[in-house]
Amino acid sequence: MSTTQTNKFEIIKASTSKINEVDFENLSFGSVFTDHLLECDYTNGQWQKPVIKPYAPFLLDPSVRVFHYGQAIFEGMKAYKDDDEALWLFRPDENYKRFNNSAVRMAMPEVPEEVFIEGLNQLLQLDEAWVKKGKGNTLYIRPFMIATGTGVIASPSNDYKFMIILSPAKSYYSGEVKVLIAEHYSRAANGGIGAAKAAGNYGAQFYPTSLANKEGFQQVIWTDDATHTKLEEAGTMNVFFRINDTLLTAPVSERILDGITRKSLIDIAEKEGIDVQIRPVLVSELVEASKNGTLKEIFGAGTAAVVNPIVGFSYQDVYYELPKTEDSMALRLKDMLTNIQHKLAEDTFGWTVKV
């Protein structure tokens, strides 16, 4: 194990690597992690020197605030390797901005750019062998922050820990996805934290999703909390609907996450001349479109899955099967986006950033 000091980072290299123990052709998403992580503590009102060190567990006091009051946020990003073995990120500035927006909403300190962006670059350069070239191979990046201040008084923490961990990945979902449209449970409410990537948003989804799983559905399409008439997100993803050749998706709001994959797909679709409508989409509109045959596709969009086609949905105990389509807009947009990410197509948007 060797240690390197720079003006900005302390780098402690692992004495051995786990990489030869990993079957990169049979990865379970988010279960295998690289040799190193980044860690930076916030204490006494300021960020300390970031450390890149071997991946390992760490100890926490039982009274730290994250356990009792849920101050925890995260991001999801990916790194890609092109055919020339160069390493790329996709719109990291958007993840950085959203991470700090989440921090502000959860009364947590914003992370400096040199810690988040420069630290990530240093970490990726150290573990770059874990990023395999070839379309579909990625390195999933999980920046997160937790409250580490001690004491069970109900107030924001004074101390925090920011970390980045890396996980080699292939596809997030596999197989057909059927969804249940929520009629009672909500993902988020106006004035709440739905637009933040707060850990509690995801924990609160698990129970209604487990109920849907028992009925044979893989995910829930969440509806608005007030009326349950507006379609908002699908599981942990933004959701799109294709009616005839028009692509519909709900606008971002206090309840809906501003997805980076979502906004990228919208930009690509508009450039391709597809009619994209960003507006509230009603459950009744979806049901009617399914009945009259104009509903062609539904798909989720997010960093992990990129694009996840949905084969059918259930509402008020009626199941609506989507038609098989030879010209899938979902798969066409996914292919165009992943080609940009893997540097197989020209990035005319300026989204890709070399590490």
Question: For 190-249, how does the pLDDT look when each residue is reduced to its tens digit (9 = 90+)?
Answer: 999 999 999 999 999 999 999 999 999 999 999 999 999 999 999 889 999 999 999 999
**CATH architecture classification, 2-169:** 2-Layer Sandwich (3.30)
74/58 Cα distance (integer angstroms): 18
- The residues pairing with 38 across neighbouring beta strands, listed in sequence order, are 52, 164
Please tell me the pTM assigned to this model. 0.95
User: With contact defined as beta carbons under 8 Å apart, do 257 and 202 qualify?
Assistant: no
User: With contact defined as beta carbons under 8 Å apart, do 201 and 237 qualify?
Assistant: no
Domain residue extents for the chain: 2-169, 178-341
295/285 Cα distance (integer angstroms): 10
* Backbone dihedral angles phi then psi of residue 100, each to the nearest 5 degrees: -70, -30
Convert the pLDDT of each residue in 143-182 to its tens digit. 999 999 999 999 999 999 999 999 999 866 667 899 999 9
276/269 Cα distance (integer angstroms): 7
CATH of domain 178-341: 3.20.10.10
> Which of 192, 173, 184, 174 shows the shortest CA–CA distance to 70?
192
Question: Which SS3 state, helix, strand or coil, does residue 39 take?
Answer: strand
User: pLDDT grade, residue 268 (50/70/90)?
Assistant: very high
What mean pLDDT is predicted for residues 297-324?
A: 95
Domains 2-169 and 178-341 equal at CATH topology level: no
38/120 Cα distance (integer angstroms): 8
